[in-house]
Amino acid sequence: MVRGTLRKKPAINFCYHEIMTDCIFCKIVAGEIPSFKIYEDEAYLAFLDISQVVDGHTLLIPKEHIRWVWDVLPFGQFMEVAKKIVTRMRKVTGSEYVYTQAIGHLVEHAHLQLLPDTVGVHNEVLEKWKEALQTRHKSPEEMQKIADKFKLD
Ligand SMILES: [Zn+2]
């Protein structure tokens, strides 16, 4: 990736703090690419995903170029913004369910995917879970190893 600064701002994050000139999300933040904004403040921007898996499929990003959602600081503030958006989605759909994803693939700029409940997404996720429940049972020993591996110190 080619890095370049499009704006001056004190770094508040320990990793990337510059606008990436070849990052599509940084271009959206800079207004070089149009977007359908759902929310915006000094630090964060939420806009409709161009693919719209379901109506309202939204991406929440930090305005600073940060690779991973888990490195966004202050993280609690980021989640508070997500909650505002989710609250609105719940009101609009009348459903408590909002599919949330933070995989971080395709675009290497931290983003949280928020998909309000509709027919397809909810059912698809539930089907995969049901499948996992039937096919991915592990022994108690395997489960303990996994728990030990991920357990917080
Ligand atoms: Zn970026």
Q: What are the tokens at 139? A: 């022994």
With cut-offs at 50, 70 and 90, classify the pLDDT of residue 5: very low
Q: Rounded to whole angstroms, how far apart are CA atoms 38 and 121?
A: 20
Q: Rounded to whole angstroms, how far apart are CA atoms 151 and 39?
A: 35
**Ligand 1 centroid to residue 53 C-alpha, Å:** 22
Q: Which CATH number fits domain 24-119: 3.40.50.720, 3.40.47.10, 3.30.428.10, 3.30.499.10?
A: 3.30.428.10
Tell me the domain boundaries of the chain: 24-119
**Catalytic site residue 105?**
no
What's the whole-model pTM score? 0.77
Q: Taking the CB of residue 143, how many other CB atoms lie within 10 A of it?
A: 11
pLDDT digits 0-9 by tens, 26-71 = 999 999 999 999 999 999 999 999 888 788 899 999 999 999 999 9
Does residue 74 have a cis peptide bond before it, meaning omega lies within 30 degrees of 0? yes
- Out of 17, 105, 111, 122, the active site residue is 111
**Ligand 1 centroid to residue 58 C-alpha, Å:** 16
At residue 78's C-alpha, the angle toward residues 72 and 84, to 5°, is 165
pLDDT digits 0-9 by tens, 62-97 = 999 999 999 999 999 999 999 999 999 999 988 888
With cut-offs at 50, 70 and 90, classify the pLDDT of residue 16: very low
Q: How far is CA 88 from CA 60, 93, 105, in A?
A: 14, 9, 26
Q: What are phi and psi of 40, to 5 degrees?
A: -155, 135
Question: What pLDDT does residue 119 have?
Answer: 61
Say if residue 147's pLDDT is above 80: yes
**Ligand 1 centroid to residue 13 C-alpha, Å:** 14
**Ligand 1 centroid to residue 99 C-alpha, Å:** 23
Q: Taking the CB of residue 65, how many other CB atoms lie within 10 A of it?
A: 24
With cut-offs at 50, 70 and 90, classify the pLDDT of residue 118: low
